[in-house]
A and B are shown apart, each in its own frame.
Chain A
Amino acid sequence: MLQKTAKKKAVARKDMSKMQWTLKEMKRNWVAYLMVAPYMLIFTCFTIIPVILSILISFTDFNMLELPNIVYLDNYIRLFLDDDIFLIAAKNTFVFAVIVGPVSYIMSLMVAWFINELSPKIRAVVTLIFYAPSISGQVYLVWSTLFSSDAYGWANAWLMKLGIITTEINWFQDADYVMPLCIVVALWTSLGTSFLSFIAGLQGVDRALFEAGAVDGIKNRWQELWYIVLPSMKPQLMFGAIMAITSSFGFGGIVTALCGFPSVDYAAHTIMHHLEDYGTQRFEIGYSSTIAVILFLVMIGANMLVKKILSKVGE
């Protein structure tokens, strides 16, 4: 039946131009447009238009009060040549993303792989332990208790008791410790969607492939991982990478909650903080849009790059 209609369509298509055919198809499927309309309308308003608007505003000096003037590339020039704090933010964001992104990705994959052969009940418990920090909202504030600036913080107390330090370290207000600590906390909350996706992907690998692999001379589980497991869950690896990269750029909230805003000496200042600073506090919307455009391009670029690297897995 399906074939028949397809044939009919194909014949009909020959008789008219592509334009006419498209119009006819659109008319025939008007219900589909009705179905996507509400979602696409909101998606357009709060995702597509904001991106386009950011790009347009980034060429102006808009500040919410006066009518904007076109300033061409002035904002971009100022950002790269005349804004030292942006350069600090860019460096921190880069360090954050390069460490947290790959480490959380590999950690998610490895943990998912390690627990794959456990019995379903134990696996469910272990999954919960690893996944819980990422869904529990503000629970990461516990790190400010563990690393609090007084002697009742767990880290200070034990370091002092063991005689390693004599005075308390002001962890989240000390430029030397802020970045590493924030990275640890970010990693702690990072086993999220990609982790679940990997667990599911591993469950979906055909068991018969392992046995065939053993017959074909797969010697150890690492070979099994590389030649059998990873290639058969490539789609999940791709999806997980996108989730990991996007969130590795989005840890600004954790930094603000733990170190305050701005962080001491801008030691953990990220592009996201810079964007918030100009966009929601100084209301230099033109300039903040420039920052947003740069952040947008960096995120898309990082995703494209990783996609390319991942396409080589198992080859």
Chain B
Amino acid sequence: MAKLRTRKHKVVLARSVGGDVGITIVLAILGVFMFLPMYYVVIQSLKPLDELWMFPPRFYVMNPTLKNYSDLFSLMDTSVVPFTRYIFNTVFTSVAGTFGNLFLSSLAAYAMAKIAFPGGKGMFKLVRTSLMFHQTVTAVTSFILMSAFHIIDTYWAIIIPAWATSLGLYLMKQFMDTHVNDSVLESARLDGASELKTFWVIAMPMVKPAWLTLIIYSFQDLWNRGASIYIHSEELKSFNYAIQQITAGGIKRAGASGAATVIMMMVPIIVFIISQSNIIETMGSSGMKD
């Protein structure tokens, strides 16, 4: 690097104006395609009734109102199971699932990344292979196993499987491979620190971006869960499910359902905005070498 900087003439990178313009145009078109529907959701939620049913529909709002939001809250009051219960269900399963996942995945990832033990590599390969298939493949047989464990229709049916996600362990292990220095661990071990203590006191503080990434992935997944085949009691169902019930109430509820969608989407988006740089840093080591 130093050599390049001291050179007299800076190397000109191959960039044509035409290419810049072309790229900007493609990016703009794709950007509009991605952004407009999101924007429309927000606009719809702010439209008063007469503007919602205007022909043709507009991409802006003339008299913005928060009435749809207050309608949503009054609709919530009419629900048989109190709405706070649905919110509690989602918040509880999201938080319990996320923290269990963070703890168990990091613990296992540390052992697989930093301790050479027979079977460790094989286990990691197994987890990595499981990234290749979607969870629906195992949904029905998981149901049978959960019945055998008697956790169907309890919070555990949502929480326990969330504790061991393949993506969480994979990202954490890859990050530890590149960001936790072996010699630091070695000197801690020589000082007599136990493996658990080395993990908790030395390694974990070095992988904070990976924690955040794991927390966000897990939280997003659990937060967005709708109806589940593992849960049938109304009072255990999720916030997302309840929102869908309101939305399904037909055209009279177009405004309220727009407001509901905005509330549901704001949470993961805000969480992502706060943690974006950490997630990107974690993804830097996500690569698969063989």
Binding site for B on A (CB under 8 A): 1-2, 22, 25-26, 29, 31-33, 35-36, 38-40, 42-43, 45-51, 53-54, 57, 64, 107, 110-111, 114-115, 124, 126-133, 135-143, 145-146, 151-154, 157-158, 160-161, 188, 191, 193, 196-197, 199-201, 203-204, 208, 210-211, 214-215, 218-221, 223-224, 233-236, 238-239, 242-243, 245-247, 249-250, 252, 272, 275-276, 279-280, 285, 288-289, 292, 295-296, 299-300, 303
Contacting pair A39 B107 (CB below 8 A):
yes
Cβ contact within 8 Å between B111 and A32: yes
Q: Is the CB of A208 within 8 A of B134?
A: no
A-B contact count (CB 8 A): 313
B123 interface contact, C-beta 8 A = yes
A138 B244 Cβ-Cβ under 8 A: yes
| Closest chain A CB from B90 CB (angstroms) | 11
Contacts of A126 in B (CB 8 A): 27, 31
Quick check: is B287 within 8 A (CB to CB) of the other chain? yes
Given A50-B145, A53-B141, check contact A275 B136 (CB 8 Å). yes
Question: Across the interface, which residues of A come within 8 angstroms of B279, CB to CB?
Answer: 196
Q: With A142-B40, A279-B139 known to touch, is A132 a contact of B269 (CB < 8 Å)?
A: yes
25 contacts between A and B (CB under 8 A): A26-B119, A29-B117, A32-B120, A33-B117, A45-B149, A51-B133, A111-B30, A124-B277, A127-B276, A132-B269, A135-B268, A136-B268, A136-B269, A151-B55, A161-B55, A161-B56, A191-B34, A200-B283, A211-B11, A221-B15, A221-B19, A235-B288, A249-B134, A295-B133, A300-B132
> Known contacts being A51-B138, A221-B15, is A31 close to B161, with CB within 8 Å?
no
- Complex alpha-carbon distance, A112 and B282, angstroms: 16
Q: Are B145 and A199 in contact (CB under 8 A)?
A: no
Cα–Cα distance between A32 and B283 once the two chains are bound (Å):
26
Residues of B within 8 A of A224 (CB): 13-14
Q: A31 with B196: in contact, given A51-B138, A142-B40 (CB under 8 Å)? A: yes
CB–CB B287/A233 < 8 A = yes
Considering the complex, give the chain A residue whose CB is closest to the CB of B268. Answer: A135
Interface contact B133-A35, CB-CB below 8 Å = no
Determine if B163 and A42 form an interchain contact, defined as CB atoms under 8 angstroms apart.
Answer: yes
The SS class assigned to the B binding surface is helix
Question: Pick the contact of A289 from B56, B140, B194, B244 — CB < 8 Å?
Answer: B140
Interface residues of chain B, those whose CB is within 8 Å of chain A, are: 1, 4, 11-16, 19, 23, 26-27, 30-31, 33-35, 37-38, 40-41, 44, 52-57, 104-105, 107-108, 110-112, 115-120, 123, 126-127, 129-145, 149, 160-161, 163-164, 166-167, 169, 182-183, 186, 190, 194-196, 199, 220, 223-224, 226, 229, 240, 243-244, 247, 254, 261, 264-265, 268-269, 272-273, 276-277, 279-284, 286-289
Tell me whether A1 and B190 are in contact (CB under 8 A).
yes
A36 adjacent to B108 (CB under 8 Å): yes
Cβ-defined partner of A40 (8 Å) among B11, B40, B123: B123
Q: Which residues of A contact B273 (CB under 8 A)?
A: 128
Across the interface, B38 reaches (CB within 8 A) one of A35, A136, A204, namely A136
Would B194 and A246 count as touching, CB distance under 8 A?
A: no
Q: Across the interface, do A39 and B105 meet the contact criterion of CB distance under 8 Å? A: yes
In the complex, are the beta carbons of A188 and B37 less than 8 A apart?
yes
Q: Are A214 and B137 in contact (CB under 8 A)?
A: no
CB proximity of B231 to chain A, nearest CB, Å: 13
Contact in complex: A54, B283 (CB < 8 Å): no
The reply to whether B136 and A54 form a contact with Cβ atoms under 8 Å apart is: no
Query: B223: shortest Cβ distance to chain A, in Å?
Result: 7
Residues of B within 8 A of A279 (CB): 139-140, 143
Min CB distance B135 to A, Å, is: 8
Known contacts A33-B117, A211-B11, A220-B14: does B280 contact A50 (CB below 8 Å)? no
